[in-house]
Amino acid sequence: MTARAHSIGNGIAAIETYIDMDLSEEGGQHVDDTEAGKFLLEIRDSIRNLRLSRQLLLLRRRTGGAFQLRRGLRALAETDLGFEYLWGLVGLDALYRMEEKGERLPRLVELLPDAIPPERAARFLEDITVCYLMGLDTQCIVTCRAAVEVLVEELGAELAGTSLGKAILRLREEKKISTDQEHDMLEINRQARELIHDEVGANAPSADDCVLRVSRLLAGLKPANWVV
């Protein structure tokens, strides 16, 4: 194992030990088996990967509505057990993702363009890199689509209000983008739409592929910003 793998493993072990020894009753229930623990596990499962799940809606209904759920969660989060356990779970999720995909930094350096993108696209590129390194592939792909939207808006301000797919086709017809650039934009849009609508086709969405395509688009469409 690499030094980094040891550090991540030690972090996971430390949090799990803290939950097992400090938050569980000595000689009694594990925190996972308490009512508070079960509730927080359901909350964790609902926000995992930063996506709203049906479980959160079911919890809201079960607890008597959004107000009651917010009040109960706020009160629980203000207790030592609730605060420590909820953030311990969130920390574990992040570390597990890093343990699984922690070798991505060299690959990211290969994928990113040797260019300085426009300011708005740069903000999205920063988010894309964080999501990629943290293993949040769904968020990475959706943010790649947002970066494409910014590029399309800059190239065709008159297309505001047009669906992204149609706007991309218009830009190609007007020769503002090449056939290859059109293909990259449409492919990123396809992958993001499949994830958003949970309709994954034969070619599964890929964070690596989308980051590569966005980088290629930025380098090709913003040649004046190339770093010398």
My answer on whether 41 and 12 are in the same domain is yes
Confidence (pLDDT) at 227: 45
**What SS3 class is residue 161?**
coil
The residue among 223, 219, 225, 208 whose CA lies nearest residue 111 is: 208
Q: Which range marks the domain in which residue 220 is found?
A: 104-225
* Amino acid at the residue 179: T
pLDDT in tens, 90-139: 888 888 887 777 678 888 888 887 666 667 777 888 889 888 988 889 99
Instruction: Give the pLDDT of residue 175.
Output: 93
pLDDT digits (tens, 9 = 90+) for 43-94: 777 665 555 556 667 777 777 887 887 887 788 778 887 888 888 888 888 8
Q: How far apart are CA 178 and CA 186, in angstroms?
A: 12
Same domain, residue pair 67 and 178:
no
Domain boundary (77, 101, 125) is at 101
User: What is the structure's pLDDT at 182?
Assistant: 96
Of the residues 70, 101, 132, the one at which a domain ends: 101
Residue finishing a domain among 101, 123, 147: 101
Crossing angle, helix 207-221 and helix 119-134, to 10 degrees?
A: 160
Is residue 211 a contact partner of residue 144, using CB atoms and an 8 Å limit?
yes
Give mean pLDDT, residues 16-26.
Answer: 81
Q: Token pair for residue 225?
A: 């910003």
The confidence band for 1, taking pLDDT boundaries of 50, 70 and 90, is very low
Half-sphere exposure of 210 (CA within 13 A, CB side): 33
User: According to the model, what pLDDT value does residue 187 have?
Assistant: 96
In this model, does residue 39 exceed pLDDT 80?
Answer: no
Burial class (CB in 10 A: 0-12, 13-18, 19+), 155: middle
For the chain, the domain total comes to 2
Please indicate, yes or no, whether residues 114 and 208 belong to a single structural domain of this protein.
yes
**pLDDT given for residue 226 in this prediction:** 44
Distances (CA, A) of 200 to 116, 194, 195, 203, 204: 33, 5, 6, 8, 6
Tokens of 3: 């030094």
**pTM for the predicted model, two decimal places:** 0.70
Let me know whether 108 and 215 are in one domain.
yes
What is the reported pLDDT for 189?
Answer: 95
38 and 119 inside one domain:
no
Residues 159 and 219 placed together within one structural domain of the fold = yes
pLDDT of amino acid 108: 85
Q: Are 221 and 112 within one domain?
A: yes
pLDDT at 32 over 50: yes
Q: What is the pLDDT of residue 198?
A: 73
Surface-to-core class of residue 17, CB atoms within 10 Å of its CB (0-12 exposed, 13-18 middle, 19+ buried): exposed
Higher pLDDT pick, 28 / 87? 87
Q: Indicate if 89 and 28 belong to the same structural domain.
A: yes
Q: What is the pLDDT of residue 116?
A: 67
Residue 158 pLDDT exceeds 60: yes
Structure confidence by residue, pLDDT tens digits, 163-203: 999 999 999 999 999 999 999 999 999 999 998 887 766 78
Please give the Cα distance from 9 to 32 (Å, whole number). 21
Say if residue 119 is in the same domain as residue 212: yes
CA 161 to chain centre: 26
Predicted pLDDT at 170: 93
Distance (Å, whole) CA 187 – CA 204: 11
What confidence score (pLDDT) does residue 99 get? 77
Cα–Cα distance measured from residue 102 to residue 106, given in angstroms and rounded to the nearest whole number? 10
Residues 86 and 187 occupy one common structural domain: no
What was the pLDDT predicted at 228?
39
Same domain, 85 and 135: no
If asked whether residues 119 and 216 sit together in one domain, one would say yes
- Cα separation of 142 and 101, whole Å? 19
